[in-house]
Structure 1
Amino acid sequence: MTPYLGGVAILLGTLTCVFAAVDPSMIAILLGGCAVAILGLLDDLQPLSPVVRLMVEVVVATGVVLNGVRAPLSGQWMDIPLTVLWIVLITNAFNLLDNMDGALAGIGAVSCGLLSATAFALGQPSPGLLLAALSAACLGFLLHNWRPARMFMGDAGSLFLGFTTSCSAVLLVSQQGGAAVPAGMLLPVFMGVVDTGVVLISRKLNGRSLLRGGTDHVSHRMRRLGLGTGTVVVTLAAVAGLGGVLGLAIVLGAVDATVAMIAAGGAALLLVALFQGVDVYETATAPGAPSQSTRKLS
């Protein structure tokens, strides 16, 4: 049986940069990331109720937001619940991306690497170092997770990766304003948003349970189209990279934030609509189905 210990390795590898936590916000992100990683590890060992998982994630995200990791979306008290909702959504979106050998590790390595560059461009080295370490940890894990995987990330890794990435993105936009705020939150996690949108809408339209695992994600639909697993992983990472590059370009002043946000939003809606046309329910097993377990909420 392939072990679900990759997430623990990613967590430990990332914590090598714990010295970067020099302010309450960074300390809160690291502690929150450890908390959701432990939650994921418990879920790997013995599946937990989705309600229990969600409640813990909301509590942890709230603690982080109250320590300064808050998106200035409205400038009012509503920013607190909106930021908590976004962090929890992206945390679980990344969990859902862990559905094919190499998929989430590749996306994580690229997304966190470019978000790290964005952090340094903004003059924020602490989150930059954290994200660089997380990117390197994902890249190292990818060597063991490439098909056929010798180790899986598990919920411990996917929840930690999603939580840390989303919180870091929020922290980077906390001192910004205008369209740069939603753009800076969306672009680093673009692939997670698209995949979750595809699955939720598809299951709703087809009368499928939202809480059961399945092979109806973007990766599975791309396999349906005849693409090989390696090609799928590289393509997903490339799309995630485009989002990261666009976010970095906004910070460098090369692209207007409003234009980037409109383009990204339009692209996300288009992809969600197009992937609805790929049939994944009529045939029981997709060609070249991934070896990762679908027992979890995915």
Structure 2
Amino acid sequence: MIYGIVAATTALLLAALLTALLRGPGLRTRAVDRRRQRPVPLLGGVAVVLATCAVAVTGAWTRVAPLGDGVGRLLAAGAGVALLGLVADVWRLRPRVLAAGTAVAAACVVPYDETGVPAGLLAVGWTVFVALAFRSLDHADGLAGTVGVVTAFGVAACAAADLMDGLAVLLSVLAAALTGFLMHNWHPARIGLGTCGSLFAGFLLASSAVFTRAGHGIGSSAGVLFALTAVAGADVVLVVVSRRLARRPLLRSGPDHLAHRLRRLGLTAQGATVLLGLGSFSGVLVGVLAHTGWADQDNVLWVAGGALLAVLLLLRVPAYGARRPVPSQVRTQLRVRNG
């Protein structure tokens, strides 16, 4: 208990310090978010990864908090996914490369002896989906970090209930590192999580959730896993359906995510993040209660219904306005109007 508090505090302070130190290098290397009007460096995820790995590995090396069977391999695979994400932040990689690399990492950590091969392959696909969904959540200040903290504590509670102490400590350290990062990422963000941090967080959360549900039925596990990551899943569904209806390419970015549409409804940037954080907390709470047996498994249907209702309502919020003409187009229009 005492070590968990010390580890979480250390991870929080270390992540906050590293995030501040990495802002300058991010600007100098031009590893910035090109979707924004102001330069926001994307190396915040590096701070989260370094803080999480440093604290977790130190605890295992000193034998104060051994990670346990498979958890060390999970952390190593997560670090590999983070490295792939860092390459994407600096040099840009196609989404298919990110998906393939994450799938290979997930395939190396799924406990097939408990899940079986068919369910294990489904777990690999779900892990890839969640990791990319968290990358998609990094579209608004503080959102991916907030949802990540809430989800990490939820999955940690599931792990602790199953006496997976090493996994619970790792997730608590991840939550603390994300909190330290959020000190610099809250609106207006001075640094972003980037693909490195968002893939790392999503991968660790999804893989850890698979560990906690290994040995349970596929149907009940699917419900719990969805509840734990409902906001990330709803964001992906909203974007995919919206772009299909608008006949836009699925991989073409646009202001059509959850937070974008909530902003169009009049919420502030902070308000949209807080509202989605509360939504994530509601889903995670149901997932934890269902996993521990304190609530009936059917309660996850309420989470699914709430997510579906939110998607249907937000689909009615316009997201694709008319594109502003570039300066050359403006000059052409003025010539036409002036004869």
Flag whether TM exceeds 0.5 (same fold): yes
CA shift, 1:114, in A, is 2.2
1:229 to 259, 269, 275: 269
The answer to whether the 8 A contact 1:170-1:184 is kept is no
- Does residue 268 of the first structure (1) align with residue 307 of the second (2)? yes
Aligned residue for 1:17?
56
The answer to whether the 8 A contact 1:70-1:170 is kept is no
User: What are the residue-to-residue correspondences of 1:1-298 with 2, within 5 Å?
Assistant: 1-15=39-53, 16-18=55-57, 19=60, 20=65, 22-65=67-110, 68=111, 72=115, 77-177=117-217, 179-257=219-297, 259-284=298-323
Choose between structure 1 and 2: higher helix proportion.
2
CA shift, 1:85, in A, is 0.7
Change (3 A) 1:273 1:69: farther
Structure 2 CA distance for aligned equivalents of residues 21 and 180 of structure 1: 30
Structure 2 CA distance for aligned equivalents of residues 219 and 202 of structure 1: 14
CA shift, 1:70, in A, is 7.9
| TM-score (normalised: structure 2) | 0.78
Change (3 A) 1:276 1:57: same
Aligned residue for 1:290?
none
Give, as a single letter, the amino acid of the residue that structure 1 aligns with 2:193. Answer: M
5+ residue gaps, structure 2, are 1-38, 325-339
Aligned CA RMSD, in angstroms, stands at: 1.8
CA shift, 1:267, in A, is 1.9
Structure 2 CA distance for aligned equivalents of residues 178 and 256 of structure 1: 16
CA shift, 1:24, in A, is 4.1
Aligned residue for 1:289?
none
Structure 2 CA distance for aligned equivalents of residues 70 and 94 of structure 1: 28
Give, as a single letter, the amino acid of the residue that structure 2 aligns with 1:151. Answer: I
Change (3 A) 1:77 1:177: same
How many pairs does the alignment contain? 279
Structure 2 CA distance for aligned equivalents of residues 49 and 86 of structure 1: 20
Change (3 A) 1:119 1:80: closer
Structure 2 CA distance for aligned equivalents of residues 271 and 121 of structure 1: 31
Give, as a single letter, the amino acid of the residue that structure 1 aligns with 2:41. Answer: P
CA shift, 1:261, in A, is 2.5
The answer to whether the 8 A contact 1:182-1:261 is kept is no
Q: Which has the higher contact order (CA 8 A, sep 6+)?
A: 1
Structure 2 CA distance for aligned equivalents of residues 151 and 69 of structure 1: 38
The answer to whether the 8 A contact 1:119-1:128 is kept is yes
| TM-score (normalised: structure 1) | 0.88
Structure 2 CA distance for aligned equivalents of residues 184 and 71 of structure 1: 17
- Shifted more, 26-35 versus 112-121: the winner is 112-121
Change (3 A) 1:12 1:70: farther
Classify the secondary structure of the residue corresponding to 1:117: helix
